[in-house]
Amino acid sequence: MSSATPTRPDSSSNLLVALGVAVVVAAVVVVGLLWFLISGGYFAAFGRWLYTSDVGAGLRYVLVALAMLVPVLLSTAVLIYAERKIWGSVHLRRGPNVVGPWGVLQAFADFGKFIIKEPVIPAGANKGVFLLAPLVSVVLAFAGWAVVPVSDGWVVADINVGILYLFAVSSLGVYGIIMAGWASNSKYPLLSALRSAAQMVSYEVSIGFVIVTVLLCAGSLNLSDIVRAQDTRFGFLGWYWLPLFPMFIIFFISALAETNRPPFDLTEAESELVAGYMVEYSASLFLLQFLTELVAVLLMSSMTAILFLGGWLSPLPFAPFTWVPGVIWFLIKAWFVVFCFSMVKAFVPRYRFDQLMRLGWKVFLPISLFMVVLVAAVLEFTGLGAHVSG
Amino acid sequence: MAEAVLFWIFSTILVGSAIAVIMARNPVHSVLFLILAFVCAAGLFLIMGAEFLAMILVVVYVGAVAVLFLFVVMMLDVDFARMKQGFVEYLPQGLLIAFVVGAELVYVVSGWSASPKAAAAATPSGTLSNTAALGQVLYTRYFYFFQAAGMILLTAMIGAIVITLQHKAGVKRQDIGAQVGRTREAAVELRKVPSRVGL
């Protein structure tokens, strides 16, 4: 490596070799350990213990929840990278390309930066509420994932009122923002909080009506049942995006507003409010607020995939396509919606606040209200909506 | 066992936060405690098996009503010293009202049983989920009351709109239809400007 001429040491190849050796050693250790545990019957005993004892049941809940939360957290890292690459491509830039190969480790580098910085709490802030706000946001953002079915039966809590739970949790998301804005004791965050409260309450109304039309068609509040109701012989033409097309569009736009995404990111409009409710937040507290937004985007995308794009169902309901595991179809659909979210951010200019309110109250509310009546009437008079499973 | 533990946790927090609502010095803290109380009440509903009511409580009260409370309280300029001024003066009347309301509550509630074991009565039949059961009762037996409640809410809504609606003269409002309906011919006018004359 080193020679007479002082050149820049090629540290990356050394690092790669070390990494490779470490991976091989780790793989051997893991395989050996697995072999020992399986051949000794420890796994079978552990499995029985999980299902028989009370402590085991508790541990099972924790493990199931982790099986959901860890992929969600990893998805947020992918989301950051994917979005920045997409915006880069739209702007004819390269996007993140320095940290790791093709810049894929950018999100982790940002993460590391945020957690080693010092969180600054402003002197005039209401300390308790200031610290509580990011926690409330992030807990609520993750709580929604409890009822999301990623495949048939792959759901943490298959509750009867799943869709209402999701709606409730997403409507509580506004508290993180209001509390942050008020507790910061600063004028931009307060204005941002007021905007956010008005915006999220307004768009919840139309989201609620969209959900009602889907419920009328599906006849159930359970998210798995809503997906199963879309399982017709027409494949992707039978998913609710086509029969309820206007509602699909309204839901997508309302989801943008509900997650404070562009073109409705008036709560953090940098030209007016610096960074809105996040102005006074730094380091790990900021990271939590930032994470909340990303998780909310993923949750809304998953919700769109479940309500309108048939969740885990295959688009073509015959052999080679139905062999593909449902979770793959679900991921494809959810990430397609995420891609649409990113593209909207890339090329739609920001709305003005009065335009936003006009769109919510004077356009979406009447249309969605009318559609609820129309869908109910169609289902009633054609006899399609006769079955109510519960 | 787990239900009993959750019941005591939720009810303790509920009563504690309800007391904190009236004891907190900061009105925003009061509203936040009120929200905590709502959420705990929803938790109690869940333990009783009334999952639909629990979710509706969270969506309507916590997700919408309490947001507006918080919204208003954050904007108010509350003077605590002045608010506390008449405290001793009004204390006898306040205590009297509290006693009357409290006695009524005790009279009504004494017939109920407040324990984790009360959960059995929540779901009327095994086949229907309580969302469907609630819907059937609401839209058959109590249909007229339901409609009457709807009409009252509609009246209140119209009243609120009438109070706040005002058309100020001289305010330029945006007419989106007119903006979108504009053509190039109507919007752009090209003129030949003679030199030293102008338009």
Q: Do A194 and B174 touch (CB under 8 A)?
A: no
- Could you tell me the pLDDT band of residue B90, with boundaries at 50, 70 and 90? confident
What pLDDT was estimated at residue A1? 45
What pLDDT was estimated at residue A278? 83
More confident residue, B166 or A73: A73
Q: Do A159 and B51 touch (CB under 8 A)?
A: yes
What pLDDT was estimated at residue A336? 92
Of the candidates A83, A147, A137, A152, the residue with the CA atom closest to the CA atom of residue A303: A147
Flag residues of chain A having pLDDT under 50: 1-3, 389-390
ipTM of the complex as predicted: 0.75
Cβ proximity of A97 and A350 under 8 Å: no
What pLDDT was estimated at residue A21? 92
What pLDDT was estimated at residue B116? 54
B40 to chain A, any CB pair closer than 8 A? The answer is no
Sign of the CA dihedral A90, A93, A97, A98? negative
What pLDDT was estimated at residue A389? 46
What pLDDT was estimated at residue B126? 60
Chain A, window 154-213: residues with a beta carbon less than 8 angstroms from a chain B beta carbon: 159-161, 164-165, 167-168, 171-172, 174-175, 178-179, 182, 190, 193-194, 197-198, 200-201, 204, 208
Cβ proximity of A147 and A162 under 8 Å: yes
What pLDDT was estimated at residue A29? 93
What pLDDT was estimated at residue A386? 52
Q: What distance in Å separates the CA atoms of residue B22 and residue B26, rounded to the nearest whole number?
A: 10
What pLDDT was estimated at residue B79? 64
Q: Do B70 and A194 touch (CB under 8 A)?
A: no
What pLDDT was estimated at residue B158? 93
SS3 A160: coil
pLDDT surpasses 60 at B123:
no
Q: What distance in Å separates the CA atoms of residue B48 and residue B42, rounded to the nearest whole number?
A: 10
Q: Which residue type is seen at A226? A: I
**Tokens 């919007």 map to which residue?**
B187
What pLDDT was estimated at residue B114? 60
Q: Do A159 and B56 touch (CB under 8 A)?
A: no
What is the mean pLDDT of the segment spanning B89-101?
A: 88
**Residue A365 token pair:** 């509310």
- Could you tell me the pLDDT band of residue B97, with boundaries at 50, 70 and 90? very high
More confident residue, B75 or A294: A294
pLDDT surpasses 70 at B118:
no
A69 to chain B, any CB pair closer than 8 A? The answer is no
Q: What is the number of other CB atoms lying within 10 angstroms of the CB of residue B164?
A: 7
What pLDDT was estimated at residue A3? 47
Q: Nearest residue on chain B to A194, judged by CA atoms?
A: B71
Q: Do B59 and A174 touch (CB under 8 A)?
A: no
For A199-215, give one letter per residue: b (16+ CB within 10 A) or e: bbbbbbbbbbbbbbbbb
Q: Which residue type is seen at A167? A: F
- What spatial distance separates the first Cα and last Cα of chain B, rounded to whole Å? 89
